[in-house]
Amino acid sequence: MHQPAPDPRPRVLHLAQPVDGGVARVVLDLTRAQLASGARVTVGCPGGELGSELQKMGAGFRPWRAARSPGTGLAGEVRRLARLIEEVRPELVHAHSAKAGLAARLAVRGRIPTVFQPHAWSFEAVGGVTACLALRWERWGARWADRVVCVSEAERATGARAGVRASYAVIPNGIDTARFCPAPAATAPARATLLPDLDPSAPLVVCVGRLCRQKGQDVLLRAWEQVRRTAPDARLVLVGDGPDRDALRARAHPSVCFAGAVPDTVPWYRAADLVVLPSRWEGMALAPLEALACGRPVVLTDVDGARESLPPALAPLCLVPAADPGALAGAVTALLADAPLRAAMAAQGRRHILSTHDVRHTAERVADLYRELLGPRPPVSFERRESIHS
């Protein structure tokens, strides 16, 4: 009896939790590129924004019920994930962020080539006993990752210094430079549409990110009090939503606008005179890359990935220490007062993103990594993997 030829296209399973923000964007961009290359791609996640976008693009989507943080439901999440893996039968699993990385490595335990991408280390996000437990897990779980993919050399160095001994690959984040680009000359200014009551000459600062401790909007609000002393007509817009929304609103000056979650951040980048991201920790944030691609200067805190996001000449102008409202206010005030410098920074930043952080380069490097991992491996025998449920 004639047997059909084996399908040479790799079966890839991405696993993600959370399902919004930068992690979701990376998963979507990789999925889109891999589908275009002919790979058979499935994504397991709890649904949400990521699940909706996957279904719109026609990607394989499998719901995986899992909370954002580890808890008492972890055992059930691992069992559900093991069943999902048995159904999809991937040749490679790519787990994104701490929670999916935890569950995936417990479910697979080295039986399938496994890539873990932390998107910033879990032990940086917490403190006390929880941080100690997270670090112990990352040290132990590294044995069940064929590669740990870091989005910056700084993120890799943080893991290595913490004792996470792994086979690392550094693949910088990339963005869609056709989507994130300066506004066409014939387009009406975005600011007039988004903020019709704002004086066109008033300085506008925009911060794009989840409203949470990691992104540091509370530090920005403290810095904003100092900025307003020098630029009293300046406006600040926080684009995004998250658990700290109400607390931030309660302390914000009337000159601060909360735009909430928006379907498209491009108009907000284009409207800004300056984009600020005051994170406490990152791997490599997407917002600065997107802002630079849109032709806007940025101010960032000097956390993992920030320096690698920038042309070297811009680092002294763009970077400030984390959790330092005074330094942040000084950098923002200086740049708001110097329009020619902002324009020069924006042009240089756009060229840097085109040459270094185009998502196509990122997808090609991930594809090379997959080929390296899949090349020497024998076909996966799912019949031998019943113990995956144990």
How far is residue 187's CA from residue 332's CA, in Å, rounded to a whole number? 27
Chain CA centroid to CA 334, Å: 28
Query: Looking at residue 389, what is its pLDDT?
Result: 38
| Beta pairing partners, 204 | 235
Paired strand residues for 309: none
Helix-helix angle 217-230:325-336, to 10 degrees: 50
Task: Count the alpha carbons within 13 Å of 153 in the hemisphere toward its beta carbon.
Answer: 3
pLDDT at 383: 38
Residue 334, pLDDT score: 97
C-alpha dist (Å) from residue 56 to 13, 18, 28, 51, 60: 18, 19, 11, 9, 10
Which pLDDT score is estimated for 69?
83
**Predicted pLDDT of residue 380:** 44
Q: What is the rounded distance in angstroms from the CA atom of residue 281 to the CA atom of residue 159?
A: 13
* pLDDT given at position 200: 87
pTM: 0.90
| Structure tokens, 9 | 């296209």
In single-letter form, the type of residue at position 271 comes to: A
Taken in order 67, 68, 69, 75, the sign of the CA dihedral is: positive
Spatial separation of the C-alpha atoms in residues 157 and 359, rounded to whole Å: 23
Mapping DSSP to helix (H, G, I), strand (E, B) and coil, where does residue 167 land? coil
Burial 240-278 (b: 16+ CB within 10 A, else e): bbbebbeebeeebeebbbbbeeeeebbbbbbbbbbbbbb
Cα torsion 20, 25, 26, 31: sign? positive
pLDDT at 8: 62
Residues in Cβ contact with 321 at an 8 Å cutoff, skipping those fewer than 6 apart: 301, 302, 327
| Dihedral (CA of 132, 133, 137, 140) sign | positive
Low-confidence ranges of the chain (pLDDT < 50): 1, 3-6, 377-390
Instruction: Domains for the chain: give ranges and CATH numbers.
Output: 11-174+359-389 (3.40.50.2000), 190-356 (3.40.50.2000)
State the DSSP H helix or E strand holding residue 269, giving kind and residue range, or none if neither. Answer: helix 266-271
φ, ψ for residue 288, nearest 5 deg:
-65, -40
Alpha helices in the chain (DSSP H): 21-36, 48-56, 74-88, 97-108, 128-141, 153-161, 190-194, 217-230, 245-251, 266-271, 286-293, 306-309, 315-318, 325-336, 339-356, 359-374
Cite the DSSP H helix spans in 89-216. Answer: 97-108, 128-141, 153-161, 190-194
Q: What is the DSSP letter of 185?
A: T
Say how far apart CA 216 and CA 18 lie, in whole Å: 19
pLDDT, position 9: 79
Q: Where are the alpha helices (DSSP H) in 37-96?
A: 48-56, 74-88
Q: 3-class DSSP state for residue 102?
A: helix
